[in-house]
Amino acid sequence: MKNLLYIGNHLKQQTANISAIGILGPKLEQESYILRYASSKPHKVARLLDMLWSCFKHRKLTDLVLIDTYSTQNFYYALLVTQLCRFLNLKYIPILHGGNLPQRLKTHPRFSKAIFKHAYKLVSPSIYLKEAFESFGYKNVVYIPNSLEMSQYPFHEKQLDEVNLLWVRSFSKIYNPLLAVNLLKALQDQGIKSSLCMVGPDADGSLEDVKQLAKNLNVSVTITGKLPKQDWLALSKDYNIFINTTNYDNMPVSVIEAMALGLSIVSTNVGGLPYLLKHEKDSLLVPPDNTEAFVAAIKKLLDNPEATCEMAVQARKKVELFDWELVKHQWFELLS
């Protein structure tokens, strides 16, 4: 199968993080696949209509439709697109991204069956979602992890004589950015020299909440907004601990990137993260929305420098298996 239609949020705004469609699509193009995309329309209704029109317009030129599938409002985009694909006899593959998709399987069983039961295959970037879908009776799930081009990620051994926290995500309530600010305050209150840099676009107004909380707590937070990948990779050299504060998640690329770069990882233990990270082996995992647990984990990193260094090394070794030069063969097999 060489002609692919990729359905997802292919937005061009400078304020939005690059989505899965903007990462995987170009990589497949480099491997001689012909791709068409929908949609880059900023307005949600226009975007949905463009997705549906693209399926119809390219129906005779398309061997397979790839559909980025999330657990929030975009779940309904996938519902409507897949039903049109069924009507047009187009083979389709939902690519499962939403960390809360298992809840969708519980609360919306009829819609879920309409999307997933008739799919050619389901692609899960995490073992977590693969097992969750299989527990609901979906047996056509293929695990293909999110990939990196490892040559872009130099490993730097970090010193922990002070705490320099890096947070990289969209400012959204589900990612709990306020916890990062509370953590900085708690560390400084305990006399631990600390800084915090937060990188990412504002998704739902949470950025203003973060700024207000920092002002109320009288702490200084560096907020860069969205940065091109190369810029935040360069920025990461100045930081030594990556914090992932999310309440829901699947297999976040930002965490994989931090592992590749040599940052120590402290993350909540929600969703697919315990499948990606192993506590005290390559990271430290803590309960969600728990400032005290994050503080304790960071103090543990500071008090055990040799173990901390070894965890960073093990994290790098793990994500080297996610190199595109390895992962791409799984896509070739699926799409052949």
pLDDT tens, 293-320? 999 999 999 999 999 999 999 999 999 9
CATH number reported for the structural domain that contains residue 101 in this entry: 3.40.50.2000
Helix spans in 168-218 (H): 177-189, 206-217
Beta strands 264-268 and 241-244 are parallel
Count Cβ atoms within 10 A of the Cβ of residue 333 and give its class: 0-12 exposed, 13-18 middle, 19 or more buried: exposed
| 334: in domain | no
Confidence tier at 99 by pLDDT (50, 70, 90): confident
The structural domain count of the chain equals: 2
The predicted-structure confidence for 238-271, as pLDDT tens digits, reads as follows 999 999 999 988 889 999 999 999 999 999 999 9
How much of the chain, in percent, has pLDDT values that exceed 90?
86
Retrieve residue 194's tokens: 């600390």
**Inter-residue contact 228 to 14 (CB < 8 Å):** no
Task: Based on the fold, state whether residues 195 and 139 are members of the same structural domain.
Answer: no
Beta strands 141-143 and 122-124 are parallel
Q: What is the pLDDT of residue 83?
A: 98
Q: Which domain holds residue 111?
A: 3-144
pLDDT(88) > 70: yes
Q: Which single residue is written with the structure tokens 């993260």? A: 273
Nearest residue to 87 via CA among 48, 55, 50, 46: 55
Which of 144, 177, 201 is at the close of a domain? 144
Which of 118, 144, 170 is at the close of a domain? 144
Task: Based on the fold, state whether residues 97 and 65 are members of the same structural domain.
Answer: yes
Count Cβ atoms within 10 A of the Cβ of residue 169 and give its class: 0-12 exposed, 13-18 middle, 19 or more buried: buried
Confidence tier at 14 by pLDDT (50, 70, 90): very low
Nearest residue to 328 via CA among 64, 32, 119: 32
C-alpha dihedral sign at 334, 67, 288, 317: positive
How many whole angstroms separate alpha carbon 287 and alpha carbon 296? Answer: 12
Task: Based on the fold, state whether residues 116 and 263 are members of the same structural domain.
Answer: no
